[in-house]
Amino acid sequence: MVVNFTRTSVNCELLEEVFQNIDAQSCPRLFNFHMHTVHSDGKLQPNVLMEQAIAIGLKGLAITDHHTIGGYEAAQSWLEDWKWNNPGAFTPYLWSGVEVNANLLNVDVHILAYGFQPEHLSMRPYLQKRVTTGKEYDAGNVIAAIHAAGGLAVLAHPARYKRSHLELIPAAVEYGIDGVEAFYAYNNPNPWKPSATESQQVQQLAEQYHLFNTCGTDTHGLSLLQRL
User: What phi-psi label fits residue 218: left (phi over 0), alpha (psi between -120 and 50 degrees) or beta?
Assistant: left
The pLDDT tens digits for 145-173 are: 999 999 999 999 999 999 999 999 999 99
pLDDT at 7: 37
pLDDT at 61: 98
Cite the DSSP H helix spans in 21-104: 46-56, 70-85
Where are any strands of DSSP class E within the chain? 31-32, 60-62, 93-95, 97-104, 107-114, 152-155, 179-183, 212-215
The pLDDT tens digits for 43-69 are: 999 999 999 999 999 999 999 999 999
pLDDT at 11: 55
pTM over 0.85: yes
pLDDT at 1: 45
Q: Which regions in the chain score pLDDT beneath 70?
A: 1-11
